[in-house]
Structure 1
Amino acid sequence: MFDTKIAFVVRNDLAVWQRLNVVAFLATGITSAAPEIMGETYIDAKGHHYGNISRQPMLIFEADLAALQRTHRKGLERELTLIPYVHAMFSTGHDADNRAVFLAEDPENMNLVGIGLFGPKKAVDKVIKGLSLHQG
């Protein structure tokens, strides 16, 4: 059906509002990095125009920190589009501060709370293999 895949992995020890917040931010990153995934504008029967959404499904998985870090490493190895979100970003108030706390993270041991992945379907499937769909 689609030769690309979009997946989000969110940490399983977060509050529900944090999980939703992380996935929302990651989704904006994926759509920015891969604008070709966007569908057409929606129009209702009265002619009202609405925004467009992704033309393909987005799957959400959950994992602990170790599995998120493993997913991150595998995603880098396969050169997927990765959108990471680290715990320190919860304490910031805007994009510049988000980038600053992200830059301060140890690249080999990030305190990830979520990661978005986009790329060829087979490659994404190999990176997320063994993860469970989010049960929230």
Structure 2
Amino acid sequence: MHIITAIKIILILWSTLLKLHLANFAHQYIFTGYGDGYVLINQNRYEKSLIVLPDYLIENWPILSVSQLEAQHFQNLLPHKPEIVILGTGAKHQFPDQSLLSQLVKLGIGIEVMDTKACCRTYNILAEEGRRVAAAILIEP
């Protein structure tokens, strides 16, 4: 009898923890999937470059490749005051020009660069922690 009671208690606790975990994302944009040429945000498919913050989504970001990036492309992030911007560069990890990174630092934008899969995972972790994170995702046609 004690084993059944213990199992019931464990199931109740597990269900409560699961609900709390899911509640953290209830009103946030999160990545729910990714693949070649797309990302899923809250189960919605996006096939064009975009910028995601926990409470804001900038669709159709007009960038197709790392070589096109300029500091001005990040200006619309400044009012949102992200602590960090994670740049997802597609299937392969590609670094933008060093001068761009220097310009972004001068604007007060800290940036990390990684492939899109790592970017999506890292963004979700930081967003769940309540951090002011932005993910800038490059999606090539």
Query: Does the alignment reach a TM-score above 0.5?
Result: no
TM-score normalised by L of structure 2: 0.27
TM-score normalised by L of structure 1: 0.28
The structure with higher relative contact order (CA 8 Å, sep 6+) is 1
- Asked which structure has the greater CA Rg, the reply is 2
